[in-house]
């Protein structure tokens, strides 16, 4: 197997030689991928393939017109060595929504969940051990392929899943980081912001780079209609804590995060907090004691400050997560790694025989 490091040097790694504690959020070819093809109006039976490279037509709609969607979820190793998935059916449903939006044939929910189990089982040796903090990241893809030049949906599609062991997305872990409000939008008001599609990411590259060049972790996006309300933190959802309330934005151009949905439930039912989905005006930030970013890759990442033009809104601390953030993080990761009892139906164990 070849590990592709960020600086483009390559090293051979295997599950036996890999340093689990030293992983970044990078790509490793683990050797087993799940692939299914859509042709003549139906999906082929998916199977495990070994080549990381895929050969597709130069005229594929995914390449020219961005007809593609993706998902991101993780497999977690428990203390007893079980491999767990966290609410994978919600990823299946969200990918169906993305497919419908871009006129792609959806990969059925049950087949999607089964495929996740199958590809994780095939790569079981690559699930990082309990205690390393690392996880197996799972990346499903749906792309339009085939020979099409005109602007129209493809007739053929590829559904593909690869996995790769990853360390923490933000190296600092629970260390708070600074963000800056972008002048740009990642999505249009009634565009594809609520769908997990590549186009939203392509348009976030430049604003993200501008933020990083200024020394910030990433850009914060405002609502694209009025530019007065918080929408997204880079490629994660936003939450804030005001008094004993967990608040997160509601908008048709925000990606409906499964982590967000789970934290709303946990804040209310496990932490006994009030929860609210609604408008978060920039000016309101001065009343927030804590703020953070949430998503599968980032888990929960505390925000130290948000800079908007010549104003800086500061939260709990520059060095430590706030008390609510810490509790939410422990509750969520405890459920995912099997040390905290999961709400009914949230965890699926992968059978590895
Ligand atoms: C995937 C994603 C998230 C986080 O969603 P989760 O389901 O929690 O992983 C948030 N924002 C954007 C833009 C995303 O693409």
Does residue 152 lie in a domain region?
yes
Shared-domain flag, residues 230 and 84? no
Per-residue confidence at 298, pLDDT binned at 50, 70, 90? confident
- Statement: residue 285 has pLDDT above 60: yes
pLDDT for position 24 = 87
Shared-domain flag, residues 13 and 143? yes
Shared-domain flag, residues 158 and 245? no
Shared-domain flag, residues 121 and 245? no
Which one of 124, 139, 166 terminates a domain?
166
Shared-domain flag, residues 233 and 327? yes
pLDDT for position 11 = 66
Determine the average pLDDT of the residues in 327-350.
Answer: 97
Least confident of 7-21, 184-198, 238-252, 255-269: 7-21
- Statement: residue 9 has pLDDT above 90: no
Q: Tell me the residue range of the domain where 127 lies.
A: 3-166
Assess whether 196 carries a catalytic annotation: yes
Q: Confirm or reject: Cβ of 235 under 6 Å from ligand 1.
A: yes
CATH code of the domain containing 201: 3.20.10.10
pLDDT for position 25 = 86
pLDDT for position 353 = 80
Ligand 1 centroid distance, CA of 73 (Å): 10
- Statement: residue 114 has pLDDT above 70: yes
CATH code of the domain containing 135: 3.30.470.10
Q: Confirm or reject: Cβ of 98 under 6 Å from ligand 1.
A: no
Shared-domain flag, residues 122 and 194? no
Does residue 256 lie in a domain region?
yes
Does residue 215 lie in a domain region?
yes
Shared-domain flag, residues 49 and 97? yes
Task: From 137, 187, 236, give the residue whose CB has the most ligand 1 atoms within 8 Å, as the site to mutate.
Answer: 236
Ligand 1 centroid distance, CA of 221 (Å): 14
Shared-domain flag, residues 220 and 86? no
- Statement: residue 279 has pLDDT above 80: yes
Does residue 326 lie in a domain region?
yes
- Statement: residue 2 has pLDDT above 80: no
Active-site annotation holder among 196, 229, 314, 351: 196
pLDDT for position 4 = 55
Residues in the chain: 353
Long-range contacts of 306-315 (CB under 8 A, 24+ apart): 306/178, 306/179, 306/180, 306/181, 306/220, 307/178, 307/179, 307/180, 307/181, 307/216, 308/180, 308/181, 308/282, 309/181, 313/282, 313/285, 313/286, 313/288, 315/176, 315/240, 315/288, 315/289, 315/290, 315/291
Shared-domain flag, residues 140 and 183? no
Ligand 1 centroid distance, CA of 316 (Å): 24
Rg (CA), the chain: 20
Does residue 205 lie in a domain region?
yes
Shared-domain flag, residues 107 and 200? no
pLDDT for position 258 = 98
The per-residue pLDDT for range 215-274, each reduced to its tens digit, is 999 999 999 999 999 999 999 999 999 999 999 999 999 999 999 999 999 999 999 999
Which one of 114, 133, 166 terminates a domain?
166
pLDDT for position 288 = 98
Q: Domain count for the chain, please give it.
A: 2
- Statement: residue 212 has pLDDT above 90: yes
Cα 312 to chain centroid, rounded: 27
Shared-domain flag, residues 126 and 183? no
Does residue 348 lie in a domain region?
no
Shared-domain flag, residues 95 and 139? yes
Does residue 350 lie in a domain region?
no
Does residue 171 lie in a domain region?
no
Q: Confirm or reject: Cβ of 236 under 6 Å from ligand 1.
A: yes
Q: Confirm or reject: Cβ of 295 under 6 Å from ligand 1.
A: yes
């Amino acid at each position: 197997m070849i590990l592709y490091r960020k600086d483009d040097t390559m090293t051979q790694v295997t599950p036996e030689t890999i340093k689990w504690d030293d992983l970044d959020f990078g790509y490793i070819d683990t050797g087993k991928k799940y692939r299914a093809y859509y042709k003549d109006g139906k999906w082929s039976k998916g199977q495990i393939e070994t080549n990381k490279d895929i050969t597709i037509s130069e005229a594929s709609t995914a390449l020219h017109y961005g007809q593609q969607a993706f998902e991101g979820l993780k497999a977690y190793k428990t203390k007893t060595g079980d491999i767990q998935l966290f609410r994978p059916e919600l990823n299946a449903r969200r990918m169906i929504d993305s497919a419908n939006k871009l006129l792609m044939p959806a990969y059925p929910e049950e087949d999607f969940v089964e495929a996740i189990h199958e590809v994780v089982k095939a790569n079981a040796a690559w699930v990082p051990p309990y205690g390393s903090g690392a996880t197996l990241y799972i990346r499903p893809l749906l792309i339009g392929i085939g020979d099409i030049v005109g602007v129209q949906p493809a007739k053929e599609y590829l559904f593909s899943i690869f996995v790769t062991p990853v360390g923490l997305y933000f190296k600092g872990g629970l260390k708070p980081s600074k963000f800056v409000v972008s002048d740009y939008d990642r999505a249009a008001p009634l565009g594809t912001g609520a769908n997990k599609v590549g186009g939203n990411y392509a348009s976030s590259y430049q604003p993200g780079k501008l933020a990083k060049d200024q020394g910030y972790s990433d850009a914060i996006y405002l609502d694209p209609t009025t530019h007065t309300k918080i929408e997204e933190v880079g490629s994660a959802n936003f939450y804030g804590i005001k008094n004993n309330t967990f608040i997160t934005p509601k908008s048709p151009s925000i990606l409906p995060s499964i982590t967000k949905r789970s934290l709303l439930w946990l804040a209310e039912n496990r932490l006994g907090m009030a929860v609210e989905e609604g408008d978060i005006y920039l000016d309101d930030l001065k009343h927030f004691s804590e703020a953070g970013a949430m998503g599968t890759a980032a888990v929960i990442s505390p925000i130290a400050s948000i800079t908007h033009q010549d104003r800086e809104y500061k939260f709990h601390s520059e060095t430590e997560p706030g008390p609510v953030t810490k509790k939410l993080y422990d509750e969520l990761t405890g459920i995912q790694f099997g040390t905290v009892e999961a709400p009914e139906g949230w965890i699926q164990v992968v059978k590895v025989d």
